[in-house]
Amino acid sequence: MQMRRVWAVLLMCVLLPSYGFEWQGRLSHITREFDSADASRRRDLLRMLTGYGADEVRALLLTPSRTRT
């Protein structure tokens, strides 16, 4: 019984930090995908951006696209 508790605590110590993990390159990946010609994909990307703060996405939304003319 004691060993089961130890394993449960160890498992929690490993899993809990991963719930708050945010991949740092995700926003830059979304930036590159914004040049997609698929309108539904761009709409999905905008929905993803709602999870970020305004300061983080301001430059992304206000910078003109590099590939479109």
Query: How would you write the chain as a 3-class SS string?
Result: CHHHHHHHHHHHHHHHHHHCCCCCCHHHHHHHHCCCCCHHHHHHHHHHHCCCCHHHHHHHHHCCCCCCC
If one compares 35 and 5, the residue with the highest pLDDT of the two is 5
pLDDT tens sequence across 46-69: 888 888 888 878 877 777 765 544
Position 68 scores a pLDDT of 44
pLDDT given at position 21:
61
Instruction: Tell me the per-residue pLDDT of 10-40, one tens digit each, with 9 for 90 and over.
Output: 888 887 766 666 666 788 788 788 777 788 9
**Whole-model pTM?**
0.51
